[in-house]
């Protein structure tokens, strides 16, 4: 009998809208951290220090030495769709920063307790503020929510506490803090590899040993050695190829035919963004299959630069995947070059072992 009586359509409340959006962008602590790392790099930082507790669920803190945030912008900082990086939709075709949607801090503020301390070069002190649901909130009940002056160095420190405290189903979905911490180390490791001239450190709160530590002046090879191992760093071939026709450049370090592991390690960057691509992974694995023992897989660090107007970075809420033109042609060009390099090294090695 109710079949002809549809439920009426209603607008969701802003609070519900914001929480749903936040849950799409921040699925796990590592996604919050990715946004924070990218913001710090966007701010021109040369040093990033990361601290995590309970796999980032209890605490995520990132301290950078970038340009800081203007005190008068602090009220807007966590509002949804407020950004210093994008003005028009067309700017998206030439975007040179990681961020552009002004959604990250807003999202985090809806599902965690967020504290920001920041100092710009021309401010005589640092400013500290707390956020909830997109807005400044008082530190203690009854106090003003306005940013308060405090001591601090130039740069920004962002503290995220009790992630998903108000999304209990999501909070309960995390079985192990160490699994989440492993994802955090993986992410920090990727950016620490790729961002040359930037120092990175990452550790668990309360522990003295660093999970990751690279100085600003470390070379890419040093970074691979520190973050992964000497075993892999010693077996890498430098890799480079480009094509004007397909509008791309690729460079990186790839393991030679003497090195193989159980699972492919693909550290892929497209226009400096850490992304995933099952198409690239599959093609590279097929290429290596001719050179490696059965079941063996390579280590690949690959940085692709594609003309920005041919790349769409806005296809996924977490920006994990990007679309680009001439994907097949670009992958083929890369795999041809991989094959050529492996072939060269392979013959010299065979020669050496025979002699
Ligand atoms: P987006 O990065 O897309 O602009 P965010 O929500 O991540 O959106 O950040 C909003 C704004 O806050 C940024 O545009 C930037 O101006 C400022 N901001 C965020 N993090 C930092 C930081 N670590 N240092 C300096 N400015 C920052
Ligand atoms: Mg951002």
For residue range 249-285, list pLDDT tens digits in order.
999 999 999 999 999 999 999 989 899 888 999 999 9
Q: Which ligand is nearest to the CA of 313?
A: 1
Is 86 within the bounds of a domain? yes
Closest CA to 71 of 118, 115, 29: 118
| Residue 261: CATH number of its domain | 3.30.230.10
Indicate whether 209 and 76 sit together in one domain.
yes
Q: Span 329-355, mean pLDDT?
A: 76
Ligand 1 nearest-atom number relative to CA 68: 25
Q: Are strands 113-119 and 126-132 parallel, antiparallel or unpaired?
A: antiparallel
Q: Give per-residue pLDDT as tens, 297-330.
A: 999 999 999 988 888 877 776 667 788 889 999 9
Work out how many domains the chain is built from and give that number.
2
Indicate whether 44 and 184 sit together in one domain.
yes
CA of 131 to the centre of ligand 2 (A): 16
Indicate whether 188 and 264 sit together in one domain.
no
Domain membership of residue 42 as a residue range: 14-214
Indicate whether 196 and 247 sit together in one domain.
no
Tell me what pLDDT residue 14 has.
87
Q: How far apart are CA 54 and CA 43, in angstroms?
A: 27
330 Cβ contact list (under 8 Å, min separation 6):
243, 246, 248, 250, 304, 306, 324
- Is the ipTM higher than 0.95? The answer is yes
Q: Which ligand is nearest to the CA of 107?
A: 1
**Does the pLDDT of residue 109 top 80, yes or no?**
yes
Q: Kindly state if the Cβ of 105 falls inside 6 Å of ligand 1.
A: yes
Phi, psi for residue 117 in degrees, rounded to 5: -120, 130
Higher pLDDT pick, 222 / 321: 222
Tokens coding 36: 């924070």
A 10 A CB-CB count for 216 gives: 12
Is 224 within the bounds of a domain? no
Indicate whether 20 and 84 sit together in one domain.
yes
| Residue 171: CATH number of its domain | 3.30.565.10
Q: How far apart are CA 35 and CA 26, in angstroms?
A: 9
In the chain, pLDDT over 90 holds for what percent of residues?
A: 71
CA of 286 to the centre of ligand 2 (A): 36
Question: Which residues are within 5 Å of ligand 2 (an ion), measured at CB?
Answer: 39, 99, 104
Ligand 1 nearest-atom number relative to CA 35: 7
Indicate whether 145 and 236 sit together in one domain.
no
Q: Give per-residue pLDDT as tens, 28-75.
A: 999 999 999 999 999 999 999 999 999 999 999 999 999 999 999 999
CA of 104 to the centre of ligand 2 (A): 5
Indicate whether 118 and 264 sit together in one domain.
no
131 Cβ contact list (under 8 Å, min separation 6):
77, 78, 105, 109, 114, 115, 116, 137
9 Cβ contact list (under 8 Å, min separation 6):
none
Judged by DSSP in three states, 296 sits in: coil
Tell me what pLDDT residue 353 has.
47
Is 4 within the bounds of a domain? no
Q: How far apart are CA 354 and CA 264, in angstroms?
A: 29
In the chain, pLDDT over 70 holds for what percent of residues?
A: 95
Cα 306 to its chain centre, rounded Å, is 18
CA of 282 to the centre of ligand 2 (A): 30
Q: How far apart are CA 161 and CA 158, in angstroms?
A: 10
Q: How far apart are CA 23 and CA 67, in angstroms?
A: 29
Cα 228 to its chain centre, rounded Å, is 18
Q: How far apart are CA 45 and CA 94, in angstroms?
A: 21
Phi, psi for residue 293 in degrees, rounded to 5: -60, 160
Phi, psi for residue 237 in degrees, rounded to 5: -110, 135
Q: Kindly state if the Cβ of 100 falls inside 6 Å of ligand 1.
A: yes
Q: Kindly state if the Cβ of 174 falls inside 6 Å of ligand 1.
A: no
Q: What is the DSSP letter of 297?
A: B
What are the respective helix, strand and coil percentages of the chain, to the nearest 5? 35, 25, 40
CA of 77 to the centre of ligand 1 (A): 7
Is 3 within the bounds of a domain? no
Indicate whether 249 and 330 sit together in one domain.
yes
Is 321 within the bounds of a domain? yes
Indicate whether 167 and 280 sit together in one domain.
no
Is 9 within the bounds of a domain? no
Phi, psi for residue 206 in degrees, rounded to 5: 85, -5
Q: Indicate the pTM of the whole model.
A: 0.90
Judged by DSSP in three states, 23 sits in: helix
Ligand 1 nearest-atom number relative to CA 104: 6
Contact status, residue 82 vs residue 69, Cβ threshold 8 Å: no
Indicate whether 163 and 196 sit together in one domain.
yes
Q: End-to-end CA distance of the chain: give it in Å, rounded.
A: 87
Indicate whether 202 and 153 sit together in one domain.
yes
On average, the pLDDT of the chain sits at 91
**Does the pLDDT of residue 24 top 90, yes or no?**
no
Residue from 92, 105, 158, 313 to probe ligand 1 pocket by mutation (most atoms less than 8 Å from CB): 105
Give ∠ CA 300-253-350 in degrees, rounded to 5.
90
Higher pLDDT pick, 181 / 100: 181
Contact status, residue 270 vs residue 306, Cβ threshold 8 Å: yes
Ligand 1 nearest-atom number relative to CA 100: 3
Tell me what pLDDT residue 354 has.
43
For the ranges 8-22, 90-104, 230-244, which has the lowest average pLDDT? 90-104
Q: Kindly state if the Cβ of 26 falls inside 6 Å of ligand 1.
A: no
Tell me what pLDDT residue 345 has.
59
Indicate whether 182 and 83 sit together in one domain.
yes
pLDDT band for 131, please (50, 70, 90 cuts): very high
Q: What is the DSSP letter of 102?
A: S
Q: Span 214-218, mean pLDDT?
A: 97
Is 124 within the bounds of a domain? yes
CA of 77 to the centre of ligand 2 (A): 11
Give ∠ CA 117-83-99 in degrees, rounded to 5.
90
């Amino acid at each position: 009998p109710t079949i002809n009586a549809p439920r009426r359509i209603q607008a969701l409340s802003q609070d519900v809208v914001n929480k749903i959006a936040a849950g799409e962008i921040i699925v796990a602590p590592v996604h919050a951290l990715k946004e924070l790392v990218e913001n710090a790099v966007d701010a021109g930082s040369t040093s990033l220090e990361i601290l995590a507790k309970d796999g980032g669920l209890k605490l995520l803190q990132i301290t950078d030495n970038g340009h800081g945030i203007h005190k008068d912008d602090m009220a807007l900082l966590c509002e949804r769709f407020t950004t210093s990086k994008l003005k028009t939709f067309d700017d998206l075709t030439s975007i040179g920063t990681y961020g552009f949607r002004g959604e990250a801090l807003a999202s985090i503020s809806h599902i965690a307790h967020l504290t920001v301390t920041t100092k710009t070069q021309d401010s005589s002190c640092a400013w500290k503020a707390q956020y909830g649901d997109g807005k400044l909130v008082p530190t203690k009940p009854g106090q003003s929510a306005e940013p308060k002056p405090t001591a601090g160095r130039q740069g920004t420190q962002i503290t995220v506490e009790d992630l998903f405290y108000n999304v209990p189903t999501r909070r309960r979905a995390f079985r192990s803090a160490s699994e989440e911490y492993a994802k955090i180390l993986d992410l920090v490791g990727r950016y620490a590899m790729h961002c040359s001239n930037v120092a990175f450190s990452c550790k668990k709160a309360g522990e003295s040993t660093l999970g990751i530590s690279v100085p600003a002046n470390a070379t890419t090879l040093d970074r691979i050695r520190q973050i992964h191992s000497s075993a892999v760093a010693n077996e890498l071939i430098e890799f480079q190829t480009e094509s004007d026709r397909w509008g791309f450049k690729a460079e990186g370090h790839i393991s030679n035919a003497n090195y193989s592991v159980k699972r492919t390690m693909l550290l892929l960057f497209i226009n400096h963004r850490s992304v995933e691509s099952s198409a690239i992974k599959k093609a590279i694995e097929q290429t290596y299959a001719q050179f490696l023992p059965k079941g063996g897989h390579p280590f690949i660090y690959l940085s692709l630069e594609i003309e920005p107007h041919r790349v769409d970075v806005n296809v996924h809420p977490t920006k994990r995947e990007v679309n680009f033109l001439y994907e097949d042609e670009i992958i083929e060009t890369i795999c041809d070059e991989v094959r050529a390099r492996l072939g060269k090294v392979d013959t010299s090695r065979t020669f050496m072992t025979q002699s």
